[in-house]
Each structure stands twice: as C-alpha cells, then as structure tokens.
Amino acid sequence: MQGIHGGDIYTNTVKLDFSVNVNPFGIPKGVEDALHQAVVRCQQYPDIRAFELKEAVAKQLAVPKEYLLFGNGASEVFMGIMHALKPRKVLIPVPSFYGYQYVAEAVESKIRYFSMEKENSFLLGEKLLEALTEDIDVLFLANPNNPTGKRLERDYLREVLAICREKGIYVVLDECFISFCEGDVSLVSEIAEYPNLLLVQAFTKLYAIPGVRLGFLISSNKILLQKIARQLPEWNLSVFAQEAGIACVKEKAFVEQTVEYVQKERAFLTEQLQKMGLEVFDGEGNFILVYTEKPLYELLLERGILIRDCQNFKGLTKGYYRIAVKSREENKILLREIGECFA
C-alpha cells in the first residue's frame, strides 16, 4: 500500500524498524512529560486558535504568527492547500513522497511528472526550469527530497521561485526533513519575499512523534492562508498535539545534538554499506537510499528487520531501498544482519 509511511509494522513481525525516518534519540523527555500532563485537559476542547502553540512557533522561527497555519500532520496541510487552490495541473518531480500525488488526485488535478534521473544523481537541474510552463498551477518540491535525500541549494530555489512567481505558479515546498541538515538551509527567513511559496514543516520526524500528528504551513500570503484554513476541520489539533508542539520548540539542545549525531551515523552507515557492495546515494536527512540486486527487503524481514522497499516510488525500480539512520547499536545490528544475508 503506497500510503503507508515506511513499512508495515502492523502485519509484519518486526524487531527493528528502519523503514520510518524518525529521530534515533526518540521523544525528548520534555515533550513526553508534556504529553502525560495533557491527559487532564482531555475533558476540555482544545484551543481552536492554537494560540500558545502559534506564539511559540512564531517566536522560534522569527516569523509573524499570522503567517502560520497548523494541521493534523503535514498530510492534512497538503490536502488543505489543494482543496483551496483546486489546481488544474500539478508538476511533481519523481521519485518523491507519494502524498503529493495523493492530494493532487483528491482534487482531480492533472499531474505532470518530472523525472529526476539516476544518471544526474537525482538532481533537478536546468531541465526543471524549462518544465515550468504557464499551464502549471502548483509545483511540489521537497527539501531534502524523500527518498533520495538530495537537498536543493538556496540560490537554485530562489531561481525556481522567481520563475514560478512570474508565471503564476504556487510552490509547495516540503521541509519536513530540513532540521536534520547542517546549517541554515530553510527558506523560512525568506518567506515574506515570495507570496507564491507555501512552506510545510512538521514535528513528526525531528521529535519522533508521528503518532501525535502535528504539521504546519508558513506563508506570507494571508488571503490564501485564510482560504486554506477554511478547508480544515474545526478543532483539528488535539490537546496532545498542541502541548507537544509547545514543548518541542524548547528543545534547542536536543535538536543540535540530533543533527550532529545523525550526520555522524549517516557517514558511518554509508561507509559500511559501500564496503558491503551496496550502491549508496549521497544525500542529507536521517535516511539513506541504496541499491542492490539482492532481495534485501525480504532477506532482512525474515530476520525481523524492516526497511523501506522503494520500488513503488515513481521513478524507482526493484532494488532500491531506503534505510533510516538509527542509533549506533541498532545500525551495527543492521550491518551485521546484512553481512550475514550477503555471506
């Protein structure tokens, strides 16, 4: 099933799950405490305005709180955007997250796919700029991309946004994995310059809370934000989501430790996997895309380890797998099991 994030832990017997890309440190203690404390507030309706959460995130990102709109995960935000815009034609580079196709189909948009070729290291390049024709209403981009891990340079994104602004194309930029990248690479600081930019982030991956469901949209286009907000249900953010989000923005040290650790472990995994003969694609984020002709998914599943089989991503074929970056202990177990599979 394409809609499953990662692999299916519900019908498989799994000891270690490398199919879903969440923080290897798990939920921060402060966030876990906030979730426990939120239980007593379940007898009340959540704040429909999400006032405290909005204030906290606006301060963290240094943007006006009027630029923010929260959803029950990034997926709800994507759906709200599409129902508000109802685009006739959408451009989606592939391989990429299936959710973009899902929301485009939900509003019966015509989808044009732009192929990112392995021979070009899965980069967009100049050919995407040529594909930005005036009949396109919405362009989906991810930075970094899932599943390739490729990050878009700031100057390239500026060029894309300028062309799209000139041609009346909205750019939905998915930054759900951006916090795992080193340096200041988010476009949040430039959001006011591009009214056609709809920037989506989430708390899911960085704070290891996919079960809580909390994502948000950042845009300087206040009229469009109001239109998108009308597509979302009332009280779409539970008390758990709001309290968790408020706690998350206080975890600055946790984020810094995470970025450093993930960089180190991704480099370790990359080197070891290459030594085993797997083709490893350079990328950023907390996951790695690999290729091997051996049936790695099935071999590891027999040993209770789940990775992401990527053959159902448009633009990829059998043999491509995505592996989450986890703790050193877990990564060593994975490497040992792969070694035994290949022996």
Helix axes 98-106, 74-85, angle to 10 degrees: 40
- Is-contact 289 310, C-beta < 8 A? yes
Q: Rounded to whole angstroms, how far apart are CA atoms 115 and 123?
A: 9
Helix (H, G, I), strand (E, B) or coil at 169: coil
Provide the 10 A C-beta neighbour count for residue 255.
Answer: 17
Which pLDDT does position 3 carry in this prediction? 47
Q: Rounded to whole angstroms, how far apart are CA atoms 34 and 338?
A: 38
Q: Rounded to whole angstroms, how far apart are CA atoms 108 and 118?
A: 30
- CATH class of the domain defined by 16-26+252-342: alpha beta
Residue 153 is classified by DSSP as P
Same fold? 16-26+252-342, 29-248:
no
User: Which range among 40-44, 76-80, 85-89 shows the weakest confidence by mean pLDDT?
Assistant: 40-44
CA distances, 40 to each of 53, 240, 321 (Å): 18, 10, 42
Which pLDDT does position 1 carry in this prediction? 45
Query: How much is the average pLDDT of 115-142?
Result: 96
pLDDT in tens, 26-38: 999 999 999 999 9
Q: Bigger pLDDT: 8 or 25?
A: 25
pLDDT in tens, 106-127: 999 999 999 999 999 999 999 9
Query: How much is the average pLDDT of 284-290?
Result: 96
Query: How much is the average pLDDT of 267-271?
Result: 98
Which pLDDT does position 343 carry in this prediction? 83
Q: Rounded to whole angstroms, how far apart are CA atoms 92 and 100?
A: 7
CATH of domain 29-248: 3.40.640.10
pLDDT in tens, 173-214: 999 999 999 888 999 999 999 999 999 999 999 999 999 999
- Is-contact 186 198, C-beta < 8 A? no
In the chain, what are the domain boundaries?
Answer: 16-26+252-342, 29-248
The token duo for 251 is 């975890």
Write the CB contacts of 77 (distance below 8 Å, at least 6 apart in sequence): 69, 71, 200, 215, 216, 217, 228
User: Which range among 7-11, 130-134, 318-322 shows the weakest confidence by mean pLDDT?
Assistant: 7-11
Which pLDDT does position 4 carry in this prediction? 52
Q: Rounded to whole angstroms, how far apart are CA atoms 311 and 316?
A: 5
Which pLDDT does position 10 carry in this prediction? 64
Beta-ladder partners of 90: 111, 138
Does the pTM surpass 0.85? The reply is yes
| 163 — pLDDT class (breaks 50, 70, 90) | very high
pLDDT in tens, 235-246: 999 999 999 999
Which pLDDT does position 7 carry in this prediction? 62
| 228 — pLDDT class (breaks 50, 70, 90) | very high
Which pLDDT does position 13 carry in this prediction? 77
Round the CA-based radius of gyration of the chain to a whole number and report it: 20
pLDDT in tens, 320-330: 999 999 999 99
Beta-ladder partners of 254: none
